[in-house]
Amino acid sequence: MASTLRQNPWRACQSLTRQQLRKTRLSSRHLSTTSLRSNATNNPLRSRASAAADLQHASQAQRKMILSAAGIITCAAGLYGVIKLDLFGLNELDTNKDDKTTTAPPKNGAMRMDGPVGFPSGGPSLITIQGQDGLEQVPTGTSTIPHFPSTIRLPTSEATEGKQTGDDLAPSTGEEYQLLGLGIRTVSFLSVQVYVVGLYIAKSDITELQRRLLRTAIHPPTPGADADAAISGVGANAATSLVSPERQQLKELLLDAERGDAAWSAIIKDNGIRTAFRIVPTRNTDFMHLRDGWVRGITARAQAKKGAEPGEFQDESFGSSMNDFKAVFGAGKGKSVPKGQTLVLMRDAHGALDALFQPGADKPVKWMGRVADERISRLVWLNYLAGKTVASEGARTSIVEGLMSIVERPLGTVVQKVI
């Protein structure tokens, strides 16, 4: 090989040149790969922290876009609902304008005294839902007895004349009663639920109740005063409804621990208003237990009224009436009242108390007995409505709220709406 190179120096030069070029290419290729790897390592766009930050920014932007789209859709739906439901009564205003433009004025020059046709809204504050049986049902607040009917039919006093204890009645042919309010009776510091109670009033007597509420609001009674004087006087017959401050004063009066007893007595004592308490136990109980609770309430209130109304509850006739009341719920009337069964205490137009019992929804109503003394039913009613301690504070509050929805409407218009 050496001899060959010596003989041909030109070929030797070419060989050396090729070897040098080959080394240069390998060196440059190595340097190029190293620099690329170094650049890739130092590129901030390919670092893990930068990628996580980009992902977070993209997620935030996407979330903002979703929230913005949801806000736009919600606003559009709200505007559509306001326009469609006509919450501000714009359609009614347009209708009234059309009526005014189309109605010709009187040609004889007489002044027209047309009043408003009535309030488009209002009425009882209780929320009603549609029941499966087609009747409107009112939620009670307990899962054991979830609903109370907003209207019921009860027999008239004439229908119970001559009845014997345990006789069947036909309430479907009687008077229709409207629910005013309801609540749950609880006992002990554990608030154990005993029964659901609701106060109903005959629909045809709502106007008279409204009139007495208006008179009581204008001339609030004082403890010990005559109930007849409390609902009479200048301006008592002129009022047709109460404004918001007057309704608030009446509400406070009916809920007052001291003055509430006289106010409620002025409303329910006189003849002319038929009401009823509907009681449905939430747990198994018996008539004796229910009777003992009412007797304790009657006795306590009669004792408290000795000073304010001396002699009204201390005569022999009152004691005899108490015995009649106990006999209505005596041991011979059935021992137990299972949960879900219905007991009704009716107070007729003259204050007499009738007790009705329905052992099941598909069974007839049975007449249990009557106490003719008005004082007995009044004290039982006051046990739920008046005083510092009542049988169900929730029921009293609900009933008062129902009464406030009555007095806010013009006198006589509530019956038209209910019926």
Q: CATH number of the domain that 370 lies in?
A: 3.50.70.10
Domain membership flag for residue 9 = no
Instruction: Report pLDDT for 233.
Output: 46
User: Is residue 12, in this structure, part of any structural domain at all?
Assistant: no
Between CA 123 and CA 188 the distance in angstroms is 35
In this predicted structure, the answer to whether residue 278 has a pLDDT above a threshold of 60 is yes
Give the residue among 321, 364, 320, 318 at the shortest CA–CA distance from 341. 364
Say what the pLDDT of residue 108 is: 45
Q: Which amino acid is at 22?
A: R
- pLDDT for the residue numbered 274: 93
> pTM score, two decimals?
0.65
**Domain assignment present for 224:** yes
Q: With respect to residue 44, please indicate whether it lies within any of the assigned structural domains.
A: no
Structural domain harbouring 340? 129-408
**Does 51 reside within a domain?**
no
CA atoms of 107 and 270, how far apart (whole Å): 50
Check residue 52 and give its pLDDT: 77
Classify residue 362: in a domain, yes or no: yes
Q: Which amino acid is at 373?
A: D
pLDDT tens digits, 244-257:
888 899 999 999 98
Summarize the confidence of residues 122-139 as an average pLDDT: 49
| Within-domain flag for 286 | yes
Q: Which tens digits make up the pLDDT trace of 87-102?
A: 655 555 554 444 444 4
Is the per-residue pLDDT at 44 higher than 60? no
Residue 129 predicted with pLDDT over 60: no
Distances (CA, A) of 261 to 257, 272, 386: 8, 19, 5
- C-beta separation of 366 from 248 below 8 A: no
Q: Would you state the pLDDT for residue 51?
A: 72
Reported confidence tier of residue 4, pLDDT bands at 50, 70, 90: low
Collapsing DSSP states into helix, strand and coil, what is residue 275?
strand
**Quick one: average pLDDT of 303-324?**
80
Share of the chain above pLDDT 70, in %: 68
Q: What is the mean pLDDT of residues 42-64?
A: 74
CA-closest candidate to residue 392, choices 264, 294, 289, 322: 294
Is 37 or 146 the better-scoring residue by pLDDT?
Answer: 146
Domains of the chain: total: 1
Instruction: Report whether 230 contacts 266 (CB < 8 A).
Output: yes
Domain membership of residue 291 (yes or no) is yes
Q: Where are any strands of DSSP class E within 188-321?
A: 192-202, 275-281
Counting residues of the chain whose pLDDT is more than 90, the rounded percentage is 21
